[in-house]
Amino acid sequence: MTFTHLDDRGQARMVDVTAKQPTIRSATASGTVRCGPDVVRVLRDGAVPKGDVLAVARIAGIAAAKRTPELLPLAHVIGVHGAAVDLEVTDDGVVISATVRTADRTGVEMEALTAVAVAGLAVVDMVKGLDKSVSLADVRLERKTGGKSGDWVRAE
């Protein structure tokens, strides 16, 4: 097996994508903030003392997608040409989905995952005063398109 992020001495490196041609790529990730019924009720009523939880989380997720290379040292700086973060309050908490698009030399899987994770953390931050037991769970890639490896969709 070849490890693309290691050089011939086994040291971490950023993969050189200079010679690759830009292509249209997208990735969608999801995650859940698990909340108890009291927090779900307050979210549905729009009565969280800190304000509009879903709006803050949406903006946090979009901003995070654009800042992924600052957080992940081997991630490439790429153009994030589109980022959408959707949040839905369910009986179990808040379901988050983020889709990130680019026309660049490498994919946006990490940007989509980062958007979901940070949006989820924003929800946790906004409601932790109501319930310290809220948790961020199941952050995962759902699908990706484009690039050398082609399209992929989670099987479940």
Residues flagged as binding site: 74-76, 110-111
What are the backbone angles phi and psi of residue 8, rounded to the nearest 5°? -70, -10
| Strand ranges of the sheet holding 23-34, from the earlier edge strand across to the other edge | 82-90, 93-104, 23-34, 135-145, 152-153
- What is the b/e burial string over 91-113, where b = at least 16 CB atoms within 10 angstroms of the residue's CB? eebbbbbbbbbbebbbbbbbbbb
DSSP tag of 129: T
- Could you give the dihedral angle defined by the CA atoms of residues 16, 20, 26 and 30, in that order, rounded to the nearest 10 degrees? -20
> Residues comprising the binding site for substrate?
74-76, 110-111
Q: Which residues are catalytic?
A: 125
Categorise residue 144: left if φ over 0, alpha if ψ from -120 to 50, beta otherwise. Answer: beta
